[in-house]
Amino acid sequence: MPATLLAGAFLISFLLAPGKTLAVVCVLVVTILWFKGQSRAAYRSDFGTKHHTAIHEGGHVVVARDLNIGGVRAVLDRGSHDHDWSGFTYHRPARTPLDDCIVAAAGTQATNMIYGENKPTTKGDAARIASYGPNVDSAAAHAIARRMVHARRSEIERIGAELSGQEKA
């Protein structure tokens, strides 16, 4: 795929601006290298509020870092209404499918812990876990995520406050 993208960009840039072809190719190469090995895990919040979404993403971030998964960062994205928020956590691929499922389960575990809720796993997280099929014990992934989230509550709250722009109470 990157080779096809690069070849297409080269052709388009040559046709549109022959003198700038090298610059366009360089930008594309840098972009591809920057995102190489990065996995975009998009977790759409079922909770709605900005702070819920921030806590959810904070759970993903803290657990991914604790599992030594590199390149972790999270962003919030505003929907069409003030109460409609989604979050995205980016990280490099996990070493094992179980680690990936633990990270996916951590978002809902974090919001359930902070808000005292018992909500099911969000659709994006559930789909990511289900994509491994019987190769991963999803119950074990949730149990491990729950333990990790409970052990790192203050860090999740700090990241959640940072992401949502709120001061930690």
CATH 1.20.58.760 in the chain is located at 39-164
Separate counts of helices (H) and strands (E) for the chain: 7, 3
**Per residue in 109-146, pLDDT tens?**
999 999 888 787 888 899 999 999 999 999 999 999 99
User: DSSP readout, 54-76?
Assistant: HHHHHHHHHHHHHTT--S-EEEE
Q: Summarize pLDDT for 154-166 with one digit per residue, the tens.
A: 999 999 999 988 6
For residues 49 and 167, the model is more confident at 49
**Whether the model pTM is above 0.95:** no
Sheet-wide strand order for 39-43: 39-43, 85-91, 73-78
Superfamily in which the 39-164 domain is placed by CATH: Peptidase M41 (1.20.58.760)
Q: What is the 8-class DSSP label of residue 44?
A: -
* Structure tokens, 98: 């179980």
